[in-house]
Amino acid sequence: MSKETGGPAFPMPGLSGLPNHGFVYGENGMTLRDYFIAHIGDENQAGDDSDYSDHAKAALVGRPYPSYTDDGPLAVFQFEAEFRAKWRAMRADAMLEARKS
């Protein structure tokens, strides 16, 4: 099953009377879901995610929170980036769902 995207973020009407015999070669661009994901800010701009426990982050990411000592700082940074990406996607999906009602 494909993910609901909300359609194009910036839809364009059909174009005619253009060079190339009326053919337009373009890209569809980002979806509304992509737009929402890109514009959802991190609540804690300073990087303090104290509102979210490591357990909550692990539940969203789908794997245990890495150890700074055992796994290294890059593993922690990668995990945090993955958490933020999934958190934004979850919020974007909620926004799309809210638009239906």
Report yes or no on 15 lying in a domain: no
Asked if residue 59 belongs to a domain, the reply is yes
53 occurs within a structural domain: yes
- pLDDT for 81 equals 93
**Domain assignment of residue 61, yes or no:** yes
- Is residue 4 situated within a structural domain? no
Is position 56 within any domain? yes
pLDDT of residue 12: 67
Which one, of 41, 23, 51, 24, lies nearest residue 88 by Cα? 41
Contact of 55 with 79, CB cutoff 8 Å: no
57 occurs within a structural domain: yes
d(CA 85, CA 79): 10
Number of separate domains in the chain: 1
User: Per the domain annotation, does 51 fall within a domain?
Assistant: yes
Nearest one of 99, 50, 47 to 77, comparing CA atoms: 47
| Domain containing residue 77 | 32-99
The amino acid at 7: G
pLDDT, block means (10 residues), the chain with 101 residues? 76 61 62 90 58 90 96 96 93 93 81
